[in-house]
Amino acid sequence: SRTFHGNNRLLTSQIVSYYESINQCKKELPEYFNFASDVLDEWARLEKDGKKTANPAFWWINEGGEEVKWSFEELGSLSKKTANVLSEACGLQRGDRVIAVLPRVPEWWLLSVACMRAGIVFIPGTSQLTAKDISYRLQASKAKCIITSDTLAPAVESVLPGSQFLKSKLIVGQGSRDGWLDLKELL
């Protein structure tokens, strides 16, 4: 197996053996599983304790060479803050649905982990969705929050008057818009 930055075979074999022991009924299947707290936070703890080599949990580079690199601890901390933004500023609760119409920017992954952490249903949407597509998804999902970039916001705004379930609008990016919460500012 190929590894990313160093040899993680020991850790990988530990994870595989753990799941094999669950499949063979040697270990209890956890009643509740949360990737953010059960995996991400555990890897951050192992790195902090020196039991796991420090590797990036997230590494993103765009066409212009801009780079974002987060350790497991940083991704965990940022996802906790983002989960708080979704819960407090956006007023979302466990089981609520969020639609994200975003290009593949770092915040896309941050929001997906934050939603896992908070028990919020993350509905990803490509930046190629039309206004009709967005409107359908808003109504069918009964999403209470929509998240988009400053450049895609005008297309999203065109369908918002018909969305009866929407409670909050969150913007990701450099700009801000009237009536939208700004993720960067709230973090």
Q: How much of the chain, in percent, has pLDDT values that exceed 90?
A: 57
Backbone dihedral region for residue 123 (phi beyond 0: left; psi -120 to 50: alpha; all else: beta): beta
Q: What's the pLDDT score for residue 87?
A: 97
Q: What is the mean pLDDT of residues 61-85?
A: 94
The pLDDT tens digits of the residues spanning 99-141 come to 999 998 999 999 999 999 999 999 999 889 988 999 999 999 9
| Average pLDDT score over the chain | 87
The pLDDT tens digits of the residues spanning 27-56 come to 666 778 888 988 889 989 998 898 888 789
SS3 content of the chain, % helix, strand, coil (to 5): 45, 15, 40
Could you tell me the domains of the chain? 58-182 (3.40.50.980)
Q: What's the pLDDT score for residue 12?
A: 58
